[in-house]
Amino acid sequence: MFDILQSDIVVMQELKIQRKDLRDDMVLLDGWDAYFSLPKHKKGYSGVGMYTRNSACAPIRAEEGLLGFLPSSEASGVLYRDMDEKESIGGYPSAAQLEGLGVDDPTALDAEGRCLILEFPAFVLLGVYCPANSNGQRDDFRHGFIRALDCRVRNLTKLRKRVVLVGDLNVNRDEMDGASALDDRRKGNISHEEYISTPNRRIFNQLLLGGEVVGERDEDREEGVLLDTTRHFHPERRGMYTHWEQKINARPGNFGSRIDFILVCDAMREWLKDANTQDGLLGSDHCPVFVDFHEEVALEDRQVQLVDFMHPVATLINGNRETQLAPALSAKRMQEFDRRRSIKSMFAGASVKTAQPMTYTARQQKEEHMDTQAERAMEESALPPITPMRSPSAFDVAPAVTRITENAQSPTSLQSVSDLKPIVDLKRKPAVATSPRAMKRQKSNSTIQSHSRPSGQQSLRGFFRSASGNGTVRDTASAIISDAGVDPINDQLPLTTSVAELTTGNCTSAIDAIQTSDTMLEETASSISKTLAPAPTIPGGSPAREASPTNFEARAATHHSWNSLFSKPAAPLCESHDEPCKSMQTKKKGSNQGRSFWMCARPLGPSGQKESGSEWRCGTFIWCSDWGGGKK
């Protein structure tokens, strides 16, 4: 995400998370610091976050809250507004100002996670998420918040600090910044003077440089202090919106509003290089807004590199950026993330460190060498005598056939007796005791099992025993063959041969015997297939029922009836476009709350109204209860 935005400072609003929801990929980002102001009481509500690139900037102070009534992380619980002036950002409203703001509980206002403030050597950055218009339910709180924001910004300006205000302010300047406002003006529902004179909009316009105000300006707001950067570069652009209502799918038709701003003080006007919206980036009901500063900026009577001005002086030594401890509000200094690194940094650091080889003492190496020699000697002496064994069943012959046939056909299979190795059953237990290591490597695969449950780990064959205890899956297969009237396969076929038999030519007879077993297997499978096949119609008996076309059509009709009974009805087609409608549900309280209806699936147009005969949403509306899936 940060590579796409190509920014050095990223400000986010409306995070809707709690501290326990923070993950490593949100905090432990290589080359970045993270700061969060999250709601203290409400869950999944508001929240502001900031990410700063370490190579481009370094905050010297950080705090959350607008009025300074939250305990500081730096001063062990002391309120931000009560800290020493050299340690705090400053600009907190005085007692007289607080009384005029109309805020009932300043601590509750700061605890909603709506303001995060970082101070750099160059400026003070405020990331803000103002309360939205909630149908008049929190108008007093919303009005008090924007008044407090205006007061804090003006106080910081009086301290001769440069101020940058970024965030979702949930208010626009005039009709140009709202599609719905333009529609209301066309309908004559509201005048221009009435629109820009609403309480929150009036305060906002008085805060802006060049903001339009009707009548006399308020006391202590005689002049504007912040510049609207986006409108500064695009003064006449219309439709420059940053928010679109998702419920009505208003973004494709660009029926939105501009409520996200980047505002800077007038002293930074010459620093600006570009500012714009990024409405092409999807994923939210808002789009990003950015501002770009010049790399070299004017500072009083000299030109300085902005990257140097964004770091404390002590952190730049001989052209190298020295890392200092981030402010206590940094997420990396939280208890759950402190002194931790990301996985990426761990792998990056692995190339610097050299792996230390594991060393052994001479005594350990000698003991291990002796154990290995003793183990090999005991394994060689533990080979059992070469004796024919009884085949477990005919189904185990296939792998043995392939193995022996390849050995017999190989040009090097019939060599001198001294070069040949006997074929032994490596699955049998050795006749003599072996070392513990050798016994761990050997697999116990005994063909005779006792009725009692064996101790230790069982073999795989034990899981396929029948309920009787001695029988296995092979017994079941033999029973099926017997029931089918087929003779069981001769299970006396030897699977191993001695060296003498190989030299005297008896190997051929063993191969012939196994090939004969293959033939018997094929005959057995054929007999089973015939046994399981449906019996032909017997003369004089009841003939087999055949599927006639009439029966097939009846079954198809029944299948279609059941499908139509349990499937949803097809969506109706809209009136103007003959396209399938989409189903929606009424959320508004009243007699129709919870009812579903069909409407045109296309988005609203720039007018924000349903249109007939255009490419935008038409006026089709059908209650789902009135639609049975038939034709309109």
Task: Determine whether 45 is an active site residue.
Answer: no
pLDDT at 423: 41
397-409 helix and 506-532 helix, angle to the nearest 10 degrees:
140
pLDDT at 500: 44
Binned at pLDDT 50, 70 and 90, residue 363 comes out as low
Q: Between residues 6 and 318, which one has the greater pLDDT?
A: 6
199-207 helix and 139-158 helix, angle to the nearest 10 degrees:
10
CATH architecture of 2-347: 4-Layer Sandwich (3.60)
Which entry of 8, 168, 228, 279 is annotated as an active-site residue? 168
**CA triplet 62, 64, 65: central angle to 5 degrees?**
140
Two structure tokens written together for 392: 């477990």
107's CB contacts (< 8 A; 6+ apart) are: 69, 70
- Per residue in 561-600, pLDDT tens? 777 666 677 788 888 787 888 888 888 888 888 888 888 8
Reply yes or no on whether the pLDDT at 210 is more than 90: yes
The kind and range of the H/E element at 52 are strand 48-53
Least Cα distance to 604 among 592, 617, 621 occurs for 617
151's CB contacts (< 8 A; 6+ apart) are: 93, 97, 101
- Per residue in 136-173, pLDDT tens? 788 999 999 999 999 999 999 999 999 999 999 999 99
Q: Give the pLDDT mean for 468-495.
A: 45
Task: Determine whether 168 is an active site residue.
Answer: yes
Q: Residues marked as binding for Mg(2+)?
A: 14, 168, 170, 285-286
Report the C-alpha gap between 402 and 14 in whole angstroms.
69
* Residue that is written with structure tokens 């300074």 in the block: 68
- Per residue in 508-533, pLDDT tens? 444 444 444 455 545 555 554 444 44
Report the C-alpha gap between 117 and 50 in whole angstroms.
9
Least Cα distance to 228 among 268, 192, 284, 256 occurs for 268
pLDDT at 462: 59
pTM for the predicted model, two decimal places? 0.61
- Give the number of other CB atoms < 10 A from CB of residue 176: 17
Binned at pLDDT 50, 70 and 90, residue 484 comes out as very low
Pairing relation of β-strands 115-119 and 61-64? antiparallel
- Per residue in 231-267, pLDDT tens? 999 999 999 999 999 888 889 889 999 999 999 999 9
Q: Residues marked as binding?
A: 14, 168, 170, 285-286
Task: Determine whether 24 is an active site residue.
Answer: no
Give Rg (Cα) of the chain: 42
Binned at pLDDT 50, 70 and 90, residue 340 comes out as low
Q: Between residues 223 and 385, which one has the greater pLDDT?
A: 223
pLDDT at 6: 85
pLDDT at 557: 80
Report the C-alpha gap between 203 and 340 in whole angstroms.
45
Which entry of 35, 243, 286, 311 is annotated as an active-site residue? 286
For the chain, give every domain's residue range.
2-347, 385-427+474-525, 568-626
Answer positive or negative: Cα dihedral of 350, 351, 352, 358. positive
Binned at pLDDT 50, 70 and 90, residue 43 comes out as confident
* Main-chain phi, psi angles of 265, to 5 degrees: -75, 160
Which entry of 129, 150, 177, 195 is annotated as an active-site residue? 129
